[in-house]
Chain A
């Protein structure tokens, strides 16, 4: 089995990350809150890690839930 490919969604605050986690889980999309990788931002906060394959579905869910996304990066 190959390693999963991940992307991280950067959000403006922890509150958005927590809302993202909640709505993604409700939609059956697996995700994990992780520290923002240092090379992406100097933020001390958390970001939402998803599987790259789920990216489009995740965007859809987050837009509907009005989670403001800052940026998305593959990691």
Chain B
């Protein structure tokens, strides 16, 4: 069995993640921040430690500006819908996932102006195209850190510098990069970082969040939901401070226990070491696919400029059939079709048919890649 669907969710999880979750359920189990008995306080500590782990990984100065939610999608919705108002202008790229595009299209109907800056067919963004799109009413730049379709990395730090120079907020979707590629929110001028817990942070599904930088005016941030927070209980109005402003209802503490363990594993192994290994894997995969006649690869074809996610097609065979045959005949699990990002597929020339996506992760090996290359080669020969 070969698992090549890490761009959808990482699997397996490192040692310690499941154990931390079981420990919470069996030995703690209480609601954080609602009561003050020892188990409730211990549950609160688990959540706080998870905030600290996130802050440490991304070099965020204040753990209390790490807002937890169910996933990166919720975080992106919070940043976009919570900060943009009718009359504001927002700039984004043509490599975005629907978790950015769909909220933006909905906001557009409410009077927010949206500019989508076109990326190259390989998925690269020219920062000066972003600068050229800035208007008087531009409030934010929303940028995918790396494409979930072809893995291409977008120039966050360069765009961050432009955003600072023009007094704009920079929102980065780090769903594909957090934990797999170094991110420093301070050095790269990221004001809002949306992350997911279940990909390269190696936590469970149902965890994610938004880092809210110091330049974001919290008074202007409209939460997605309001409700019980365990604070200011005498008032019927929502607390105005982070993280409570944006964290109504009981958190997924069992998930956050696993998330902290996942991030601690990443920190121990080192993001740079993880990145170096994944570059090696991606390089091997790209080189191998290029050698197979009848295979088209998308993206920049340079492992150093992308994540370990590689998309391709076998000429003469539908992506869905390639995926089915890889699974049925070779035990290789991957994703095929359109990966929730129509704009990115249009940019890379894979719309509407889609592509076959191998999402490699830190637990994959060169041997697995060799086995997959042999399988793809046999399908390509058959298709010709």
Contacts and interface: CB of A to CB of B under 8 A. Distances in A.
User: Is B truly associated with A?
Assistant: yes
Q: How large is the interface on B (under 10, 10 to 19, 20 to 34, 35 or more residues)?
A: 20 to 34
A15 B36 contact: no
Interface in B30-61: 32-37, 40-41, 44-45, 47-48, 51
A47 B231 CA distance: 11
B32 A13 contact: no
B243 interface: yes
Nearest to A35: B36
A73 interface: no
B41 A33 contact: yes
A69 B48 CA distance: 18
Interface in B58-86: 62-64
29 contacts: A12-B231, A12-B232, A12-B244, A13-B229, A13-B232, A13-B241, A14-B33, A15-B33, A15-B47, A15-B48, A15-B243, A18-B44, A18-B47, A18-B48, A19-B48, A22-B48, A33-B36, A33-B41, A36-B36, A41-B234, A43-B231, A44-B230, A45-B33, A45-B233, A46-B40, A46-B41, A46-B44, A47-B36, A66-B62
Given A19-B48, A34-B36, 12 more contacts: A12-B231, A13-B241, A15-B243, A16-B64, A18-B44, A41-B234, A43-B234, A45-B36, A45-B230, A46-B33, A46-B36, A47-B36
Interface of B: 32-37, 40-41, 44-45, 47-48, 51, 62-64, 229-234, 239, 241, 243-244
